[in-house]
A = this chain, B = another copy of it.
Amino acid sequence: MALVVQKYGGTSVADVERIRSVARRVVARKEAGDQLVVVLSARAGDTDRLLALGREMSPNPDPRELDVLISTGEQITVALFSMAVKDLGAEAVSMTGTQAGILTDHHHGEARINSIATLPLKQKIDEGKIVVVAGFQGSDNEGNITTLGRGGSDTTAVGLAAALGAEVCEIYTDVEGVYTTDPNIYDKARKLDKISYEEMLEMASMGAKVLHLRSVEFGMKYNVPILVCSSFTDASGTLVLQEDEEMERVMVSGITYNRNEARITLTNVPDIPGMAAKLFHPISEAGINVDLIVQGSGSIPGRANLSFTVPKPHYEETMEIAKRVAGEIDAGVHSNPNIAKISVIGVGMRSHSGVASKMFDILASQNINLKMISTSEIKISCIIDEKFAELAVRLLHDAFELDKAPGERVVIAEES
């Protein structure tokens, strides 16, 4: 008998028929002998509707009250789901985030889980009940309702799995798992059987929005295996877990792309201390997240070129700041909002060299110009013209033979 935490997203509980279908799946699993904690999101669209209602009420809704408002979305699904489970003859009990003992910090709308008081939950599990917990929410130490931000139900699920010592945290969603690349771009994309937490973090942060970033961090910190799978099929899904030797033998696990960034370059920046801070401090103050930063030498001695990328929605605002700072330090500014970031990810890069050069070769062979390059231990990212994004993904996917199972690949790289 294993203790399993399952999480179902908004599309899986979008209406009573789907809720009933998920309930049948859960009850069958329970009858097969497992203990179950089920974490649910709000019905698809509900959170957006509640947010819209809040904005209709107030141009700038109070964050505390916005959390009180939007947390009702999950409260509705857990109640409905528990009714459905009971109609199937099993015992169920719903819990709001507060009732489930999920204690967070005070940051309304983006709260972090500090601790989980599992006693009430454990009691109900021991009574043989399927415990149905509202995802995405908790309360702070003064009893105020908080929410964990978009995708926060994943974090609720992994957090509960960690706190309860569950065998696995299963995240049911509308995709069948994590793919080598976006199947919508390339039909040769292959579902991964497993992937390490670190690779998943790179995948998630690059736009493969399968799991909430923080849930993966949680999983990694507490070593909770996370199974990503579809609630609409019985396919096996992708297991996210600690890196093992087998993974290390694989050079590349996936290719991601992101077309939602814009590049800004300051040319001929005086190459003296404090210049970067002068630029990035006001950008950060404006709440804008800079992604890549690359600095190279400029065309004038003692001057450097500084390129960086920001999310497209913040492009105009960032340009205004960049132009102001450039004027102050006598630098030039140019920009390109039509870029794409292509990344190759794999923990195997740690022990294999040659991945970067292979990537550059392949892109060069099709005359795809690299505008920026950034590397980490397990990831290489290149900024290219947006129009080449799909082409680059397909080329790299083919070159690294990601359509084949890892053991069948013959891609040559050097073992370092």
Contacts and interface: CB of A to CB of B under 8 A. Distances in A.
B58 A83 contact: yes
A62 B86 contact: yes
A99 interface: yes
B94 A80 contact: no
Interface stretch (A71-79, A153-161, A376-384): A71-79
Interface residues of A, number: 38
A306 to B, nearest CB: 41
A89 to B, nearest CB: 12
A96 B75 CA distance: 13
So how many copies of this chain end up in the complex? Answer: 2
B76 A72 contact: yes
Contacts of A16: 53, 56-57
A84 B68 contact: no
A82 interface: yes
Nearest to A134: B68
Given A143-B99, A143-B120, A64 B93 contact: yes
Contact of A94 (B65, B82, B83, B84): B65
B72 A68 contact: no
A16 B54 CA distance: 9
A97 to B, nearest CB: 12
A69 B61 contact: no
Given A19-B57, A56-B16, A99-B143, A69 B79 contact: yes
Q: List 9 A-B pairs, minimum CB-CB distance, nearest first.
A: A69-B79, A68-B79, A72-B72, A58-B83, A65-B79, A65-B82, A57-B80, A65-B83, A16-B57
26 contacts: A16-B57, A53-B80, A54-B79, A57-B80, A57-B83, A58-B84, A58-B86, A59-B87, A60-B87, A62-B82, A62-B86, A64-B93, A64-B94, A65-B82, A66-B79, A68-B78, A68-B82, A68-B96, A69-B75, A69-B76, A71-B75, A72-B72, A72-B75, A96-B145, A98-B98, A99-B143
